[in-house]
Structure 1
Amino acid sequence: MARLIWLGAMAALFFSSTFVLNRAMSLEGGHWVWSASLRYAFMLPILLAWTLASGGPKALREAFGLFGRNPVFWTLAGSIGFGVFYAGITLAAAFSPGWVVATTWQSTILATPLVLALLGRKVPRKGLAFTGLIFCGIVLVNLEQARGATDLGRLWGVAAVLVAALAYPLGNQLVWEARHGGGKRIPRIDQPALDAGRTPTLLLTIGSIPFWLILVAVTHPPAPSQGQVIQTALVALFAGVIATSLFLRARSRARTAYELAATDATQSLEVVFSLLGETLLLAGPWPGLMGVAGITLAVVGLVLYVCRQV
């Protein structure tokens, strides 16, 4: 259990680069469609090279074979877990201040039990209590950051993040369900390669390609700037490849609904890491008493996940 929390925490550290770099890109006027789609355009060659370097041509053939046997599943899971998720995050940056995006995104830790219930999995009550504790801590951190903000009417941004917060755990859980049993509508993909992290990340990225092509064709965004291209490349490496692979690896090792909820709850640390990143890189304010109290609640919640087994 402790190893799952550790992997999830490391993933949260790299995931936090998304909020910091998206904040920087929004200040420079970059279009949200390019911030989203370019990330996965960069991820694809990185993941292909990583798979080839780690497992050789055999690993690539195995990955493409897995996709070829279940193309509809991977396209659906990739479009939801990567496409809808990240389109919502970058769209929100065009409508809402960064603190609104960061606060609302933490609803994903509450969306996880909902996704588990929708897919017929048992939702542990103790896990829900700890998740609620973490969420309260995150709210306190972001309420402090929201002091002095006057623009509270960006409901489109809030709605986009809420959709993203549901789409991300849903896409991830579809992969977990396929790996650990499948169902009437979910194929059983009992392949150890999915436990590596990089393989499901690659397959979900490939599956999201139709979504991005359609989105670009529909929106016709203006050409991205050089700075936006560079920053999306960094997001692709840190959040898209490293963080996602760590996170999916942690989820693949979870064996119960409780462990899945605990792993997903580590995403709460993204706000802590994002706060530190914005403070150091974008001259954001340091947390006060309310912020410290929120961080403490989040850490206590994670410790309880580790100490209390079901």
Structure 2
Amino acid sequence: MNIIKYKAIFIGILSALFFAVTFIINKLMANEGGSWIWSSSLRFYWMLPFFLVIVIMRKNLFPVLLSIHQRPIQWILWSTIGFGVFYAPLTYSASFSPSWLVASSWQFTIIAGILVSPFIYKGIHISISSFLFSGLIFLGILTMQIGQINHIQFKDLLTGSFWIVIAAFAYPLGNRKMILMLQGSLDVYQRILGMIICSLPFWLILNVYGITIEHSIPNHTQIYQTFIVALFSGVIATTLFFYAAELVHHDLKTLASVEATQSGEVLFTLLGEIILFHIALPDTLSMIGIGLVIIGMILHSTHSK
């Protein structure tokens, strides 16, 4: 079992590396003047054929289409929230903050997940430890924000943080409501495919806004960059993470350790930004904040189950 445990943890760390690509390339596209509208929507257009092929190869397409046909309103609502209202604001925030700060602040989704749980699951009990570890994460995020006051205009810092918070609540709300609605009738690949399909109206409306109001269209570089994000983060990272979780799903302690590997996103994103953008290391206060977030995530995953 030890070999499987270490294998799962290694794969989890590898998935965090690929997930970090999202934050780095989103910042790269923002720096190059690419509109957040296309940075977000093109990722899901690219993901569609990947997951369509995966589901078809597994001979599981018909149940997805049938489920959407039976409950189209619920599918469109929760897919729009879980994918659209999650990823569009997260991408937009890249225009205001460095990618490592976005990746670190994004961990607020753990706190948001706890806060929305009572509204989704009846009679749920949230442990005191969950609140304590979530408080540590929040303190870390707040410390990082304070550390950046002298490096980023306060208005930009506030705007970026606002949209990250919106994304942090939308992600667990949309995905958990979808999981609750499906009751295990579809596997994870089927659910992702269905949510991509049902979020398309949101992305198309956003594209119309981009063309008519912002007068923006993606260039070849942005199209290529969003393909990389879709492949590395949307497909490879997601598949690796779910595979790692599946390896140890009967061992809750090891599963918690696999989940904790996602704190590596913060470090990988920071390292990537230093290499690609030649930024200086964050100041001492921000580094303390990063450390608090990572410690909080690890404690949250390993002790609050």
Q: State the TM-score bracket (shorter-chain normalisation).
A: 0.7 to 0.9
> Which shows bigger deviation, 61-70 or 85-94?
61-70
After superposition, give the CA deviation of every residue in 1:257-278 in whole Å (9 maximum; x if it has no partner).
x999998776544222211111
Is contact 2:35–2:218 with CA below 8 Å preserved after alignment? yes
- 1:164 and 1:36 map into 2 onto residues whose CA distance is 12
2:162 is aligned with 1:159: yes
Query: Separation in 2 of the partners of 1:7 and 1:127?
Result: 26
- Whole-angstrom CA distance in 1 between matches of 2:234 and 2:120: 26
CA distance in structure 1 between the partners assigned to 2:304 and 2:94 by the alignment: 38
Cα displacement (A) at 1:97: 2.5
For 2:225 and 2:106, the matched residues in 1 are separated by: 21
% identical aligned pairs: 38
- Structure 1 gaps of 5+ residues are 179-187
Counterpart in the other structure of 1:185: none
**Are 2:108 and 1:97 equivalent residues in the alignment?**
no
What does residue 37 of structure 1 align with? 41
Q: CA deviation at 1:125?
A: 1.9
2:233 maps to 1:242? no
Query: Which letter does structure 2 place at the counterpart of 1:123?
Result: I
Structure 2 residue 226 is the aligned partner of structure 1 residue 225: no
One-letter amino acid matched to 1:200? R
- Supply the RMSD in Å over aligned alpha carbons: 3.4
Amino acid at match of 2:232: F
Q: Distance in 2 between matches of 1:101 and 1:138?
A: 10
1:14 CA drift (Å): 2.3
Cα separation, partners in 2 of 1:167 and 1:213, compared to 1, 3 Å: same
Q: Closer, same or farther in 2 for the Cα pair 1:79/1:274, shift >3 Å?
A: same
Alignment partners' CA distance in 2, 1:262 and 1:147: 34
8 Å CA contact 1:39–1:232 kept in 2: the answer is: yes
C-alpha distance 300-217 of structure 1, shift in aligned 2 (>3 A): closer
What's the CA shift for 1:23? 0.8
Partner letter of residue 17 of structure 1? V
TM-score normalised by length of structure 2: 0.79
Residue identity matched to 2:281:
W
Which secondary structure state, in structure 2, belongs to the residue aligned with residue 190 of structure 1? coil
Deviation at 1:5, TM superposition (A): 7.5
How many pairs were matched up? Answer: 290
Does residue 19 of structure 2 align to residue 15 of structure 1? yes
- What is residue 197 of structure 2 aligned with on the other side? 206
Pick closer, same or farther for the CA change 1:72–1:215 going to 2, 3 Å: same
The Cα shift of 1:230 comes to 0.5
Q: Which residue number in structure 1 is paired with residue 133 of structure 2? A: 130
- Give the Cα–Cα distance (whole angstroms) in 2 for the partners of residues 265 and 51 of structure 1: 28
**Which position in structure 2 is the counterpart of 1:48?**
52
Are 1:301 and 2:276 an aligned pair?
no
Deviations 1:209-257 (A, max 9, x none): 01111111233242211111110111111222233455667889989xx
CA distance in 1 between counterparts of 2:241 and 2:40 reads: 19
Normalised TM-score (structure 1): 0.78
Q: 1:90 to 1:288 in 2, by over 3 A?
A: closer
Question: Deviation digits for residues 161-211 of structure 1, max 9, x if unmatched?
Answer: 221111011112113323xxxxxxxxx5332x42xx322211111111011
Q: Which residue of 2 aligns with 1:108?
A: 109
Partner of 2:30: 26
Alignment of 1:284-295 (within 5 A): 284-286=279-281, 290=285, 293-295=288-290
Runs of 5+ consecutive residues of structure 2 not aligned to the other structure: none
Query: Displacement, 1:32?
Result: 1.1
Partners of 2:144 and 2:290 within 8 A in 1: yes
